[in-house]
Amino acid sequence: MKYQKRIGVNRKSISGLKSDDEVGDELTEQNVNDINITPSIVCSNCGALYANGEWTWNALPNDHIKGVCPSCKRIEDHDPAASVIIKGTYFAGHKDEINHLVKNISKSELSDHPLERLMDIKDGASETEFTTTGIHLARRIGYALQLAYDGELRSVQSDNDHIIVYWEKDL
Ligand SMILES: [Zn+2]
């Protein structure tokens, strides 16, 4: 699934929380996943729920354990997954409008995907950078900017898997 995110939790260790009677000696790890006995995880910071292999805003089941979602972890660590960098002279004259567009897209993305969040806006002299916790949001912002205002869009992947989406337009 395109939007599905994996959490860095060892499934075997989660399975280990269940007693042997519940898991059954004959079950392989694959079977364990199939019958979905992995406890759900709730982010104690934002309330996102990890269940059935993905993070959602679904209602919390009675049986869950507390944790921190990858998105809150990135915000806490100041470790964005992606950036959108806006260059060119067009931005200065359309700042409010573009900021509004970016925030609207972020809001709509977050309502479906807890791991896709806008982190910071760094307004520099020659460029403005929006950092995000997910790469999909950065890409979506880039496409939306190009769709709304044309300009030049490109993206690069740095050594540490950080995606940078550049959108550039001059007056
Ligand atoms: Zn969270």
pLDDT in tens, 45-79: 999 999 999 999 999 888 899 999 999 999 999 99
Separation of CA 52 and ligand 1 centre (Å): 17
Separation of CA 116 and ligand 1 centre (Å): 11
Confidence of residue 104 (pLDDT cuts 50, 70, 90): very high
Separation of CA 74 and ligand 1 centre (Å): 9
Confidence of residue 161 (pLDDT cuts 50, 70, 90): confident
Q: Indicate if the pLDDT at residue 8 is higher than 60.
A: no
Q: Indicate if the pLDDT at residue 127 is higher than 90.
A: yes
Separation of CA 87 and ligand 1 centre (Å): 31
Confidence of residue 159 (pLDDT cuts 50, 70, 90): confident
Say which residues have a Cβ less than 8 Å from residue 73's Cβ, sequence separation at least 6: 79
Tokens 């982190």, residue located: 119
Separation of CA 48 and ligand 1 centre (Å): 6
pTM, two decimal places: 0.76
Tell me the sheet residues that pair with 43. 67
Separation of CA 49 and ligand 1 centre (Å): 9
Q: Under a CB-based contact definition with an 8 Å cutoff, are residues 169 and 151 in contact?
A: yes
* Separation of alpha carbons 69 and 5, rounded Å: 10
Nearest to 166 by CA among 143, 149, 148, 147: 143
Q: Indicate if the pLDDT at residue 131 is higher than 70.
A: yes
Q: How is the chain split into domains, by residue range?
A: 11-68, 75-168
